[in-house]
Amino acid sequence: MSTLRDELEGLYAEYVDCLDGGELERWPEFFTDPCLYKIIPRDNFERGLPLAMMLCESKGMLQDRVEVLRGASVYAPRALRHLVSALRIDSQGPHVAETARSGPSGMIRVHANYAVFQTQVDEPTQVFNVGRYLDQIVREDGHLKFREKLCVFDSVLVPGSLIYPL
Amino acid sequence: MNAAWPSADHSRVPFWVYSDAEIYAREQARIFRGASWSYVGLGAEIPRPGDFKRSAVGDTPVVVVRDHEGAICVVVNRCAHRGVQFCQQPFGNAREFMCPYHQWTYNLKGDLIGVPFRRGLRKQGGMPEDFALDAHGLQRLAVRERHGVIFASFDAALPPLEAYLGPAMCEYFDRVFDGRALRVLGYMRQMIRSNWKLMFENIKDPYHASLLHVFLVTFGLFRADQPSAVRMDEHGRHAVLVSSKGEQQASDATAEMKAFLADFTLHDPTLLQPVREFSGTATVVMQTIWPNLIVQQQSNTLATRQLVTRGPEAFELVWTFFGYETDSDEMTRRRLRQANLMGPAGLVSVDDSEMMEFSQRGVRAAPEAAAVLELGGRDCADAPHMITEAAMRGFYKYYREVMGL
């Protein structure tokens, strides 16, 4: 029988596979509606400054992001590769996770490290963005979905442009 | 660099200005360490005595600090002893600055107040008798603050900021910085691998905005067929692009704009629900202030963008988003949502940061070639429309004066 950890690791594997595989149209499906998705520099996060570099508050805003980068933005081609590790499944007590497994109202907190590598034409692969996912996950119609996903990245200084979601 | 400027007027820009190391060194000396007021931060970032932040003027690192009397001081982040960059914290609060290497200590104005073992130890060693503390302070810059915005200069004889901006540019500056207390919402920073001037040119170039930026064009946020203007100060060094929001509807102009997508709609329109907050009809004013500041007012998203040079072929763009202390929570949320348009991940601005890097890749390989800036004629006059490159020509007119080119 698979554990909650197995199931969550499966979710993150699916999530990064969707992004790295360029299936961005499926990306909003990983979220509830409404939801909260933010890419936020650690400097802002730790100082309590509210500004995010990317902010989506609904599945519609996630879709808008995808449609703009598909049909409107102009940028050089690039490939991304996400590595996610050190999943810490929140530990407000095992009963929380059990509730999440069984009931629709339960919420699971997951903290994880991520690293995103970027490869552009005529360039060696670079470390593009490194940080932590601070996530809230709920079960909706039997599927685990992000109700909140914060990507808090370590270096405020972004090399070039951030085109794709993390 | 031995080449002469390729045109008598300012309709040509030789590509060597974007990659030549000698030109870059001359820019640092004549522009950034010369007769200019450089933006270094906002007063709201250092509200209390002792608050400081790291900043930069050109590629010189500085510290901006509020002293114990409440006055703002800007000092070079370099110990007078051995040149150590003594301040490593991006922000903080200090009673004094102490270089960690040999503990030379400075007050917040930059005066040297302590040197360990100055008198030696047990009558041995120490500084010479005639060593004077007051001859070894931190290098200080002249400082001006206008309505919460801090500028610094290596040239102590520079005219006041208001004269430097000139009446027309000062009026646009005061439109956003009207004296209300500012509230910093947060930062974004990006390293763009292009020459710094390409960033300034981008904000002086309304031609591209109606062509490149699908998002702006489609939603009528900035478009050639809307009431707009390009204005400059008398030297051509500062400029504004001004426009008024229109609707998402086709016109005779949209036929020339491949970027106009009549059917494109937002799934969640709350992203774009601007409210009018400034007097007049303009809904976007982008101001460039020589030599390192862009003031962004696009709908309700307000930011300063500071250019920090990092060699001829790279610069850092530091975005400081802000609102006003008097903003309602709803207005703050609106500003935070509209910030999606801007920054390193901006729905609009990624087009620009990408294009500047594309430009650099092109011009680097052909220093002897030149850009052609003839849209709207070859002069540097203000225009009541966007189909002009006059503000870029104005920029190079002044640039050539300062650089002796």
Report the residue of chain A nearest B258, measured CA to CA: A72
B215–A72 CB contact, under 8 Å? yes
Residues 193-232 of B with CB under 8 A from A: 193, 212, 214-215, 218
B339–A52 CB contact, under 8 Å? yes
pLDDT 10s digits, A49-63:
999 999 999 999 999
Give me chain B's average pLDDT, please: 95
How close is the nearest chain A Cα to the Cα of B45, in Å?
12
pLDDT confidence band for A103 (50 / 70 / 90)? very low
Q: Provide the 3-class DSSP secondary structure of residue B234.
A: coil
At A92 the pLDDT is 57
Of A157, A160, A162, the CB nearest to B357: A160
CA B331 from centroid of its chain's CA atoms: 25
B189–A74 CB contact, under 8 Å? no
DSSP string, B184-216: EEEEEEEEESS-HHHHHHHHT-HHHHHHH-HHH
Q: Are strands A107-120 and A31-41 parallel, antiparallel or unpaired?
A: unpaired
- The model's pTM is 0.95
pLDDT 10s digits, B127-150:
999 999 999 999 999 999 999 999
Chains A, B: CB contacts within 8 A come to 125
Report the residue of chain B nearest A129, measured CA to CA: B190
CB A127 within 8 A of CB A117: yes
Dist. CA A122–CA B167, nearest whole Å: 48
At A91 the pLDDT is 47
B345–A47 CB contact, under 8 Å? no
Q: Which stretches of B329-389 are DSSP H helices?
A: 329-338, 349-364
A158–B184 CB contact, under 8 Å? no
B131 part of contact set with chain A, CB < 8 Å = no
pLDDT 10s digits, B115-125:
999 999 999 99
Residue A102 has pLDDT above 50, yes or no: no
A158–B189 CB contact, under 8 Å? yes
CB B113 within 8 A of CB B133: yes
Report the residue of chain B nearest A164, measured CA to CA: B345
Residue A151 has pLDDT above 70, yes or no: yes
How close is the nearest chain A Cα to the Cα of B220, in Å?
14
B90 part of contact set with chain A, CB < 8 Å = yes
pLDDT 10s digits, A17-69:
999 999 999 999 999 999 999 999 999 999 999 999 999 999 999 999 999 99
Residues of B in contact with A71 (CB under 8 A): 214, 261, 264
Residues of B in contact with A65 (CB under 8 A): 347
